[in-house]
Chains A and B, each alone.
Chain A
């Protein structure tokens, strides 16, 4: 089945540790995105990538880093520089062909940093 997978579903870390969230898609989509969702707020864009080996900062990129070495994979690293890392993280992808820009979302990773 085609789709997007994120792992793990829940992640707990101590303050000061870097942590990497996984996102994989087998939809053959060119574009991938990372969002963060906090209570009472909409999704905020962290990073996005339109093509392999290229990515752009979103609205809240500080304290995060990404890589896009393969089309299928777009891992997000939450560094110790991120001041409020506890949140729900969503990965998405989109095709963009035939005028369709619908995003497909993964199930999300809930990160708790104490």
Chain B
């Protein structure tokens, strides 16, 4: 059974701290891994990773994929209160040519001022 596991489930840090969120997966047909940030309603897209070892970066956020060990990490440096959100990891693992996304349960991050 395809699955995506995120850790930790929740995290509380202070402004300025650096956090690392983990996403591991076991799927039969990996195509890409995606990170989303969900604040109040709909998730917003952060990164899509398809190749191992290539870091994607956007401001204070960065992410990297390890296809050998089947995991990805999302780093946030110099955290701010606006980073407080649920971070979702999803794996695109199509079956028989159709689309299929498996989501993790998310990591709830709270950044204290």
Interface residues, chain A, with chain B CB atoms under 8 Å away = 31, 33, 35, 40-45, 48, 50, 56, 90, 94, 96, 99-108
Contact = CB atoms under 8 A, between A and B. Distances in A.
B3 to A, nearest CB: 10
A102 B48 contact: yes
A104 B45 contact: yes
Contacts, number: 55
Dominant secondary structure at the B interface: strand
Interface residues of B, number: 24
A101 B99 contact: yes
Interface string B52-94: 0000000000000000000000000000000000001010100
Given A96-B99, A108-B42, A42 B106 contact: yes
8 contacts: A42-B88, A42-B105, A43-B88, A56-B98, A101-B48, A103-B101, A106-B42, A108-B41
B9 to A, nearest CB: 8
Contacts of A94: 99
